[in-house]
């Protein structure tokens, strides 16, 4: 399904990004996930003193949706913003999901699942899961 309200999804991701907890990296991420039924679930990254314990915005949004009983998804918007001067992190690039999040998406989403990487409501790039995660590993063929 590529007919859906992209602006609403982008707005939701930008809004939830305000709640990101990222004092260690200074990289604030918001994600908004659209279900087949038209609902939007959101998530922000939540970091931790023990760095690997932190969770990405994308998996936060998926966990919220899964916890509400949702299993079928159409698209996700991801938006990231650097808020410190760490030269290793770009504030200009479109924020792409990390490898772990791509694997997570693969469990529930089909090849056509769309990932909107947005810098603003007007400035975004769309990729399908198929192009971001070719040859994904799945036991039993996954959910879809």
Active site residues: 58
Query: Of these, 19, 54, 107, 110, which contacts ligand THU (CB under 6 A)?
Result: 54
47 binds ligand THU, rule: CB under 6 A? yes
Residue 37 to residues 33, 41, 91, Cα–Cα distance (Å): 11, 12, 33
Which lies closer to ligand THU via its Cβ, residue 34 or residue 38?
Answer: 34
Burial of 87 per CB tally in 10 Å (0-12, 13-18, 19+): exposed
Query: Of these, 63, 64, 66, 98, which contacts ligand THU (CB under 6 A)?
Result: 98
42 binds ligand THU, rule: CB under 6 A? no
Q: What are phi and psi of 46, to 5 degrees?
A: -130, 105
Closest by CA position to 60, among listed 31, 26, 91: 31
Query: Of these, 56, 115, 132, 133, which contacts ligand THU (CB under 6 A)?
Result: 56
Q: What are phi and psi of 78, to 5 degrees?
A: -120, 135
Residues interacting with ligand THU, by CB under 6 A?
A: 22, 25, 27, 29, 45, 47, 54, 56-58, 78, 95, 97-98, 101
């Amino acid at each position: 399904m590529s007919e859906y309200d992209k602006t609403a999804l982008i707005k939701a991701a930008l809004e939830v990004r305000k709640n990101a907890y990222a004092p260690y990296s200074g990289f604030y991420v918001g994600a908004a996930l659209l279900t087949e039924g038209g609902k939007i679930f959101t998530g922000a990254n939540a970091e931790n003193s023990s760095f690997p314990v932190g969770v990405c915005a994308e998996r936060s949004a998926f966990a919220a949706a899964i916890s509400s009983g949702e299993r079928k998804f159409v698209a996700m918007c991801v938006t990231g913003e650097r808020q410190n001067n760490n030269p290793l992190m770009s504030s200009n690039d479109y924020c792409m999901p990390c490898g772990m999040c791509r694997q997570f998406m693969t469990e529930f989403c089909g090849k056509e699942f769309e990932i909107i990487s947005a810098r603003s409501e007007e400035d975004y790039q769309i990729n399908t899961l198929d192009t971001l995660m070719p040859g994904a590993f799945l036991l039993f063929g996954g959910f879809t």
